[in-house]
């Protein structure tokens, strides 16, 4: 197609060069990928997942969002398989999003505490102090 000018008297368009894919990063070595998969232990990883600070909230939010998206899609289109796909996609999207947001907030709190802007307060000490004040106030009233 290059060199053909269907519009005599007009300047032809320049040729568009083909994109060159030059990724400066080297491709992952097969040994690196294999060693990464060898570090996975599903029984250990899934049994300790519940101890993660954001796991429960993320999965609950993801399930609710996925269920909502799936039901809305089913009511709107009536296609069951498509609605199920949308629901599963919504579950994964919401779970990952809330997980990342929760960990972002944890990092922010740690940075604030490390900088000294917000003192670290043990809530048990605060509750105990409030109880002591309440007991002292009652004893004064008696």
DSSP 66-122: HHHHHHHHHHHH--HHHHHHHHHHHHHHHHHHHHHHHHHHHHHHHHHHHHTSS----
Q: What is the pLDDT of residues 62-94, one digit of tens each?
A: 999 999 999 999 998 877 788 999 999 999 999
Q: What is the pLDDT of residues 94-111, one digit of tens each?
A: 999 999 999 999 888 888
pLDDT of residue 88: 94
* Cα dihedral sign, 89-60-57-53: negative
């Amino acid at each position: 197609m290059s060199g053909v000018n269907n519009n005599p008297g007009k300047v032809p368009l320049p040729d568009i060069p083909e994109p060159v894919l030059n990724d400066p990063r080297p491709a992952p070595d097969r040994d690196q990928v294999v060693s990464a998969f060898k570090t996975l232990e599903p029984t250990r990883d899934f049994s300790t997942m519940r101890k993660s600070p954001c796991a429960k909230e993320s999965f609950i939010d993801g399930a609710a969002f996925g269920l909502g998206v799936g039901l809305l899609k089913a009511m709107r289109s009536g296609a069951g398989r498509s609605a199920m796909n949308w629901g599963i996609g919504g579950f994964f999207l919401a779970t990952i999003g809330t997980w990342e947001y929760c960990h972002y907030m944890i990092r922010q709190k740690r940075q604030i505490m490390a900088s000294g802007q917000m003192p670290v307060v043990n809530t048990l000490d605060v509750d105990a102090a409030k109880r002591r004040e309440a007991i002292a106030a009652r004893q004064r009233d008696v």
